[in-house]
Chains A and B, each alone.
Chain A
Amino acid sequence: MIVALKGLRKVFQSRGEVIAVDGIDLSVREGELFGLLGPNGAGKTTTISICTTRALPTAGVAVIDGIDVVRSPALARRSIGVVPQYNTLDRACTIFENIYFHCLYFGMSRPAARSRTDQLLGQFHLAERSSSYPSQLSGGLAQRVQIARAIAHRPKVLFLDEPSAGLDPQSRLAMWEAVRGLRQEGITVVLTTHYMEEADELCDRVAIIDHGRILVEDTPAALKSSVGAQRVYALELIERSGLADLTTQIQALSGVVRAEAMPAGVRVFAHAADGLLPEIIEIASASGLRDLTIQETSLETVFIQLTGRDLRE
């Protein structure tokens, strides 16, 4: 295992006791593209901060590429590349210099640093902007420079913290492309995200995290099939007094996997069966159906099933 977290816990004491990470065990295989999916404040960034030596765990062990990151942080940093949520490019240096000096920090000779920088600028389609300053770049380009810089010293593991936060859709696709390209170089990638499409599209395996704990961990396909249904219907009702009856009634319909009473109405997990939707509508109409949303099964559905909440809530 290239990344192995055991019993990781982080409690912040500054403003009362806040448990950010509450006993996380995680293993990432070499060459894998691994996603930590969860809502804001779930503990994703804290977990990444511990892995990348920026935060000290209250308890537990984090071993990366065979190095205990708490005991030997300086050594561990040689195996780690980091792209944080915010732009940390050196504002006083050009794009070229940002990558070039990064190479020097990691012990490359000057000619080696220069050729590595040129190669990365080419690989990430940044050659034209090599003499621009970070302040002149769009968010998407700055993100790409940060990825190029993070892998300049050929780390074993690259950590991307919310890589698509603040990116427009086109830049996000370009970033996905760049991240997929890394896999061909054999770099293990661990990313955090609260976009379920991102985790679904990009990751080999996903761990869903909430309140500092990992709820479930598997391939996106396996996670989705674990729901056992293809659709989720959320029914919003005006009249909620007969909710329990209504739920039982819907539950009895053929094609329905499960029906749950919610504060606003009923949530139905169902197979994509012909004629099921009209039946549900008909039954629900008696309670005054106000609105209906239909979702294909996604990682979001998995999260809803596990926590009863939306990712965005």
Chain B
Amino acid sequence: MATSVAHVQSASRTGSLPYARAFAGLLLRDLFVLRRELFPFVIRVCMNPLLFLFVFTFVMPHMSGGAALNPTAATGMNFGTVLLPGLMAVAIMFSGIAAVALPLAQEFGVTREIDDRVMCPLPVAGVAIEKICFSALQSMVAAAIVFPLAYYIPATPVVAHVSSWPVLFLVLVLASLTSGALGLTIGTSVKPQQIGLIFGVVVVPITFLGCVYYPWAALVHIRWLQIGVLINPIVYMSEGLRATLTPNLPHMPEWLILGMLLVFLVLLTTIGIRGFRRRVIS
């Protein structure tokens, strides 16, 4: 028996094709289910930016004093321009939570459907990484849906031009993967019964303190906050999109943004996979 065990194990090392096929199968299943729920997906992605833009960049400017809302008035930029990258970052982040954390809470808690996915001929980490990748796809679609909304709704014209397509693409991919990893970390570390709490405890704070509604540089007068928000991955998502879509606004240097996104991606993926393994293997 010992020899046959050794033989099969050495054979397994050479064949990674079954892993790729299992991974592709999982991705295909998720895309298939998403296609069926396309309408709720679009509504979910659109609602927050739509209302935000409508109130703050359309309704408010029509009232007196609306301009006072603009944190970058001194630089001559309007609020719509500030919000364009910020709201895209929120859409990316929120897709990560909605695509990974919420379904995971259900699958761990109520239905145990995850058990079936874990029985795929794929290392457990592969199942977790598939979740991150699928979430990243959703995040990118969400960002693409938000862009025209944020560009056309504001009453004053939004100033946007892409400084570098490759960097924009890199920021989008890294931000999307990072938000998927964040979703995995939240989904595996929060008790399924308490998943509703994460909106108040995690999502809202990281959004409001994520340099979504103001550029990071504008925090210069509140130094402690400017330093404090650096542990928030959303900061680098908003700043990254700001640097590549609305480069006229003050923003962090690109190398720092990309570096920090990478750091958060590795960190959150590691924590997420560890949590996932703890949840499915006893």
**Other-chain residue from A67, A82, A88 in contact with B113 (beta carbon distance below 8 A):** A88
Per-position binary interface string of chain A over residues 84-122, scored 1 when its CB falls under 8 Å from any chain B CB and 0 otherwise: 101111111100010001101111000000000000000
Interface of B (DSSP majority class): helix
In the complex, A75 Cα to B120 Cα: how many Å? 10
Decide: A101 near B113, CB < 8 A? Known: A74-B19, A82-B119: no
Q: How many residues of B contact A (CB 8 A)?
A: 38
Size category, A interface: 35 or more
The A-contacting residues of B in range 105-144, CB under 8 angstroms, are 111-116, 118-124, 126
Per-position binary interface string of chain A over residues 62-84, scored 1 when its CB falls under 8 Å from any chain B CB and 0 otherwise: 01001110011111011010101
Q: Say yes or no for A305: interface residue by CB 8 A criterion.
A: no
For B29, the chain A residues whose CB sits under 8 A away are: 90, 93, 97, 101, 104-105
Q: Say yes or no for A130: interface residue by CB 8 A criterion.
A: no
Q: Say yes or no for A56: interface residue by CB 8 A criterion.
A: yes
**B26 close to A88 (CB less than 8 A):** no
In the complex, A75 Cα to B10 Cα: how many Å? 11
**Other-chain residue from B9, B18, B24, B112 in contact with A78 (beta carbon distance below 8 A):** B18
In the complex, A246 Cα to B5 Cα: how many Å? 58
Decide: A4 near B112, CB < 8 A? Known: A72-B8, A101-B25: no
**B282 close to A54 (CB less than 8 A):** yes
In the complex, A101 Cα to B116 Cα: how many Å? 11
**B113 close to A77 (CB less than 8 A):** no
Decide: A74 near B9, CB < 8 A? Known: A89-B116, A97-B32: no
Q: Say yes or no for A192: interface residue by CB 8 A criterion.
A: no
Decide: A66 near B121, CB < 8 A? Known: A74-B19, A86-B112, A101-B25: no
**Other-chain residue from B111, B115, B121 in contact with A106 (beta carbon distance below 8 A):** B121
Decide: A66 near B5, CB < 8 A? Known: A92-B33, A93-B33, A105-B120: yes
In the complex, A183 Cα to B37 Cα: how many Å? 40
Q: Say yes or no for A301: interface residue by CB 8 A criterion.
A: no
Q: Say yes or no for B62: interface residue by CB 8 A criterion.
A: no
In the complex, A12 Cα to B280 Cα: how many Å? 15
For A72, the chain B residues whose CB sits under 8 A away are: 8-9, 12
Q: Say yes or no for B21: interface residue by CB 8 A criterion.
A: yes
Q: Say yes or no for A49: interface residue by CB 8 A criterion.
A: yes
For A273, the chain B residues whose CB sits under 8 A away are: none
Chain A, residue nearest B3 (CB)? A66
In the complex, A63 Cα to B33 Cα: how many Å? 36
**B8 close to A66 (CB less than 8 A):** yes
**A63 close to B121 (CB less than 8 A):** no
**Other-chain residue from B12, B17, B21, B33 in contact with A75 (beta carbon distance below 8 A):** B12
Decide: A52 near B122, CB < 8 A? Known: A66-B4, A107-B21: no
Chain B, residue nearest A90 (CB)? B113
Report the minimal beta-carbon distance from A188 to chain B, rounded to whole angstroms. Answer: 16
**A54 close to B8 (CB less than 8 A):** no
Q: Say yes or no for B22: interface residue by CB 8 A criterion.
A: yes
Can you sample 8 A-B contacts with CB below 8 Å? Answer: A54-B281, A66-B5, A71-B9, A72-B12, A73-B124, A75-B121, A101-B29, A105-B25
Q: Which B positions have Cβ atoms within 8 angstroms of A? A: 1, 4-5, 7-9, 12, 17-19, 21-22, 24-26, 28-29, 32-33, 36-37, 111-116, 118-124, 126, 280-282
Known: A66-B7, A87-B111, A93-B32. 7 other contacts (CB 8 A): A67-B5, A72-B9, A77-B121, A88-B115, A90-B29, A90-B116, A93-B33
